[in-house]
Amino acid sequence: MGHRAARPRRGRLRDGGGHLTLPITPSQTVGPFLAICLPWPDGPFVVPEGTPGAIAITGRVLDVAGDPVPDALVETWQADERSGFDHPDDPRGAATPATAGFRGFGRCPTDAAGEYRIVTLRPGPLPCPAGGTEAPHLDVSVFARGLLDRVVTRIYFPDETEANAADPVLAAIAEPARRQTLVAGAVPGGPPGTFRFDIRLRGERETVFFDV
Amino acid sequence: MTADTHGAANHGAARYDAGGDGLALPRYPRPVGVHPPLDSPEYRSTQLRAPRQPLVPLPHWLTEVTGPLLGAERVTAADADLTTRHAGEPIGERIIVTGRVLDSDGRPVPDTLIEIWQANAAGRYAHQVDDHLAPLDPNFDGAGRCLTDSQGRYRFVTIKPGAYPWRNHLNAWRPAHIHFSLFGRAFTQRLVTQMYFPGDSLFAQDPIFSSVPDPKARERMIARFDLDLTVPDWALGFEWDIVLRGRGAAVFETEEDT
């Protein structure tokens, strides 16, 4: 980084090259006992169960041996079905959720079999700042003992073939097999609107994780 | 503290980087060398669970610059006092833990949910998986939550957690710590960390504390004892500020462009 002009300016940052003025607090693992605090009774329900149009995403969190991770926490964040966020930093304007009770955020601890379940609505597609469109997706954070920082992934939908093909985040992942780890599966024989998304933390068919 | 004045000057004045297509989004520069490497072999469970593949950079677009703004409906005032929620008082040293949540631009993070959990004074968690041979305390469950105020301040009353053994290596002990979970205002800012106590002899042998590569960054996880926060005849006071990622680049570029 080059040396910045010596003339002081209002609001000018002080560290001459870097951008940060206060050093941030490091991450640490949630450890094995997150269940005494983080699960909420309504956590898995981004919308109340039974909401018209609701979908369910279930899956397992698995370790390097393919064994279930029974002490993880899965969190999701997403747009509503009209592509809106009820948030002031959305430059299109904060959108009141089109469906009453939609929270955008889901949180579910894994059970003894490593399973989680999120009940939500299908998010709409999103415009990209650089042009183009992001396919419908959920951002996902996974926390667990053995993870010193959360790991971040995305859930895309298997029946959005065209939108997924045009999605710039998916397109940046060169290997098709790796890309495929971000696409949920339909549940064979399951009711419509049910999807499966397993999260393989390490090893064979490892899920793609992002540096956010 | 200069950060306070800087934060006050910028509070509520988010600056945005203008992108194409008319969408101007805040940016959250990626911290370098702050967080522990996921693959930290000294902490054995990482070898079962931490990804091997390199992380793929994720642009900060609409899903990332927004996030859950979880409000007052999740918290009651009683949730911030872990010592008064049961029939009797918990055993242990009563402490006050207070501080501010800021972003790295020095802005306070107001109205943001903080969740904490911890072991009791004997070093035992109120969790069925914890089989440490130390007593449970019927008057302590170890979970608390609060919202920061308009200045980003928070305050908990609790008891000092005990150290406890774990099975990472022979004679491994965790230094006393309190788990903190924070949301900030954007998906990019989500942070779960641990607060430690000053002068703990167990730091050097703890692979979780030591997983943070920069010794200065490790110190930012340690609370400061403060006699002024200490309430005479009642509780020891500790201060701990938490700094989340900020929107430094956006501010920087705007300043340079004007």
State how far the Cα of B16 lies from the Cα of B25, in Å rounded to an integer: 6
Given CATH 2.60.130.10, say whether it is the number of domain B68-245.
Answer: yes
- pLDDT tens track for B20-57: 456 889 989 989 999 999 999 999 999 999 999 999 99
Give the largest Cα separation in chain B, rounded: 63
Q: Which class for B188: exposed (0-12), middle (13-18), buried (19 or more C-beta within 10 A)?
A: buried
- pLDDT tens track for A107-146: 999 999 999 999 999 999 999 998 999 999 999 999 999 9
Confidence of residue A106 (pLDDT cuts 50, 70, 90): very high
Give the side-chain half-sphere CA count within 13 A for A195.
23
Q: Which residue of A has its CA nearest to B107?
A: A22
Averaged pLDDT, B100-104 = 97
Q: Residue B68 and residue A103: Cβ atoms within 8 Å? A: yes
State how far the Cα of B227 lies from the Cα of B235, in Å rounded to an integer: 10
Q: Are B255 and B249 in contact (CB under 8 A)?
A: no
Q: Which of chain A's residues have a Cβ under 8 Å away from the Cβ of B38? A: 147-149, 151
Measured CA to CA in angstroms, residue B96 lies from B1, B108, B110, B160, B236 at distances of: 22, 20, 20, 9, 6
- pLDDT tens track for B53-65: 999 999 999 999 9
Give the side-chain half-sphere CA count within 13 A for A15.
15
Residue B39 Cα, gap to closest chain A Cα (Å): 8
Confidence of residue B16 (pLDDT cuts 50, 70, 90): very low
In a domain, A163, yes or no: yes
Which helix (H) or strand (E) segment holds residue B3: the answer is: helix B2-10
Q: Residue B24 and residue A37: Cβ atoms within 8 Å? A: no
Please count the structural domains in chain A: 1
- pLDDT tens track for B189-228: 999 999 999 999 999 999 999 999 999 999 999 999 999 9
Q: Which of chain B's residues have a Cβ under 8 Å away from the Cβ of A179? A: none
Q: Residue A129 and residue B216: Cβ atoms within 8 Å? A: no
Name the amino acid, one letter, at B18. A
In a domain, A209, yes or no: no
In a domain, A10, yes or no: no
In a domain, A74, yes or no: yes
- pLDDT tens track for A5-62: 333 333 334 444 444 589 999 999 999 999 999 999 999 999 998 999 999 999 999 9
> Look-up: residue for tokens 């959990």?
B117
Map out the domains of chain B as residue ranges. Answer: 68-245
Scanning B133-152 for CB atoms below 8 A from A yields 141-145
In a domain, A42, yes or no: yes
Averaged pLDDT, B126-150 = 96
Q: Which residue of B has its CA nearest to A112?
A: B129
Confidence of residue B253 (pLDDT cuts 50, 70, 90): very low
Q: Are B183 and B152 in contact (CB under 8 A)?
A: no
Q: Residue B194 and residue A28: Cβ atoms within 8 Å? A: yes
State how far the Cα of B203 lies from the Cα of A167, in Å rounded to an integer: 45
State how far the Cα of A178 lies from the Cα of A166, in Å rounded to an integer: 16
State how far the Cα of B225 lies from the Cα of B236, in Å rounded to an integer: 8
Question: Which backbone phi and psi does A41 adopt, to 5 degrees?
Answer: -55, -40
Q: Which of chain A's residues have a Cβ under 8 Å away from the Cβ of B21? A: 127-131
In a domain, A70, yes or no: yes
State how far the Cα of B247 lies from the Cα of B13, in Å rounded to an integer: 11
Residue A55 Cα, gap to closest chain B Cα (Å): 19
Q: How many other CB atoms are found less than 10 A from the CB of residue A123?
A: 28
In a domain, A18, yes or no: no
CATH of the domain at A133: 2.60.130.10
State how far the Cα of B255 lies from the Cα of A99, in Å rounded to an integer: 40
Question: Which backbone phi and psi does B104 adopt, to 5 degrees?
Answer: -70, -5
SS3 B237: strand
Residue B179 Cα, gap to closest chain A Cα (Å): 7
User: Structure pTM?
Assistant: 0.90
